[in-house]
Amino acid sequence: MPKIKIFDTTLRDGEQSAGVNLNLSEKLEIARQLERVNVDIIEAGFPAASKGDFQSVQKIAQTIRGCSVTGLARSVVGDIDAAWESLKDGAFPRLHTFIATSPIHREYKLRQSKEQVIETAVAAVKYAAQKFPIIQWSAEDASRTELPYLAEIIEAVIQAGANVINLPDTVGYGTPAEYGAMFKYVMENVPSVHKVSLSTHCHDDLGMAVANSLAAVENGATQVEGTFNGIGERAGNASLEEVIMALYIRGDFYKAETRITLNEIFRTSTLISKLTGMPIPPNKAVVGRNAFAHESGIHQDGVLKEKSTYEIISPELVGVKSNSLVLGKHSGRHAFKIRLQELGLNVAEEEIPQLFTIFKELADRKKEMTDDDLVAIVLDHQLSKDQDQFYELKSVQIQNTADQVHTATVTLSGRNNEIIEESGSGAGSVEALYNTLECCVKEQVHLLDYRIQSVGAGRDALAQVFVKLNYAGKESSGRGLAQDVIEASAKAYINAVNRVIYLAEQTQVTEGSHS
């Protein structure tokens, strides 16, 4: 069967989700997992967008060897140069360049004629061909572009040196019938189409991103772009795990396959959810916690007799397994290290002693230590050791009075290691805590979202808190982990604030270098 390449844009389009701010170590962690799940291409970012983006794309390209790493560039020489400098050390460097082609974009955004858009696109591809061995060209808003004109510009960029042609449904406007017909038209009306691969990139504004992607495969696309968990701008992108499993389970219909390591899908989805702070809906296809749950008595009876009656995907196929007791307070450092390796957690040798100490301290307080606990410990440690810890939590105390007034006392270390101590009150413990933290950071903070979930099960489970807030006019997300809910809440709030400060400093550095 023909191979469908999987192009993952979690680190570029996915990170553009409102409130998602990934730092370098988090991006590297996701990139390594994408390599482990065996995607074909990782779109690591937009190198020309900022110094931070450039550095993260460069580091990912230097680190990942099992798949191709690409970066986005407008049809601008400066963008293409920045992409080459960040990607040239990659194992299989490639460029992803684009220009809008639809009438509404030509008239209102580009303010260019049809001929001018073609000239700009061709010039960009020709310039990129002097540097990159593989060039992917995208017709932004292709699904709202006149088909004859779309065929004309595609032929022109192929002649200029493009290797992959991507036809995005940029605003999620298309239907499966229309979107599939567009690919069929291109296959039949572009003379040089046999020289390139066709790619699909769909957004989910009308809930049809996966269906549209599969319609494109039926009509000639050999590459599917998307994100795990379907994250992305607005309503998100096509969910890769859904596309991958549809191609696998319905191979009889699509007659196409991917090279994805299927039992790494759930781990990939879970990691991305934890690091972005975007929860997976319980009823999410393939990776939601209810995807393999059967509550109806009729369904339960059928599954007990024969799983295939109501279960078309086995949990084990995508890597779902029940948590088991893997380590305890009597476990040794070697067993701890081996288990981290088995879980695919990338930990430097010099960090093992500190992580083992954290593990032992937690194991003394918890009855059970699960794989989820180990993953959470490592991710939280990596979060705390990053260089963007401008504020650090030292202590927090909550007192409740008889009249139900909650008072919080918080001690932080500040940016120059100064000690900051404040007290505040509120109607509840978290409100009192966040009112006090707002005094500590000396800037108005608007809490936009607050979510808490347990890591594992049991009364002694770790608490993971995710927040989304607006600090200094910037929206940011943060996460915190602790056995105590209040401590986890404080860590999440501080993490979100630290991210804003870090990004602001990176922006200042970039602007200073351009002045």
Tokens of 232: 């992305």
Q: For residue 160, which of 190, 132, 126 has the smallest C-alpha distance?
A: 126
Name the β-bridge partners of 167.
Answer: 200
Tokens of 417: 């290691």
Are residues 395 and 410 in contact, defined by beta-carbon separation less than 8 angstroms? yes
User: What pTM was computed for the model?
Assistant: 0.86
Domain ranges of the chain: 5-276, 291-321, 333-385, 392-514
Report the pLDDT value the prediction gives residue 244, as an integer from 0 to 100: 98
Strands of the sheet with 419-426, listed across from one edge: 392-400, 406-413, 419-426
pLDDT < 70 regions, the chain? 293-310, 322-326, 367, 384-388, 402, 506-515
336-352 pLDDT per residue, tens: 888 888 777 778 888 88
Burial of 50 (0-12, 13-18, 19+ CB in 10 A): middle
Contacts of 363 (CB under 8 A, 6+ apart): 327, 328, 329, 331, 369
Contacts of 415 (CB under 8 A, 6+ apart): 390, 391
CA distance 511 to 79: 16
Report the pLDDT value the prediction gives residue 301, as an integer from 0 to 100: 57
| Residue indicated by tokens 């995005």 | 168
Give, as one character, the DSSP assignment of residue 288: S
Helix-helix angle 209-218:240-249, to 10 degrees? 50
483 phi/psi in degrees, rounded to 5? -75, -30
Angle, alpha carbons 3-7-11 (nearest 5°): 160
Report the pLDDT value the prediction gives residue 385, as an integer from 0 to 100: 67
Please state which CATH class domain 5-276 belongs to.
alpha beta
Q: For residue 289, which of 243, 323, 249 has the smallest C-alpha distance?
A: 323
CA distance 408 to 133: 59
Instruction: For domain 392-514, give its CATH number from 3.30.160.270, 3.90.1150.10, 3.40.50.1000, 2.102.10.10.
Output: 3.30.160.270
Cα radius of gyration (the chain): 25
DSSP 405-453: -EEEEEEEE-TTS-EEEEEEEESSHHHHHHHHHHHHHTS-EEEEEEEEE
* Cα torsion 372, 373, 378, 382: sign: positive
Are residues 47 and 82 in contact, defined by beta-carbon separation less than 8 angstroms? yes
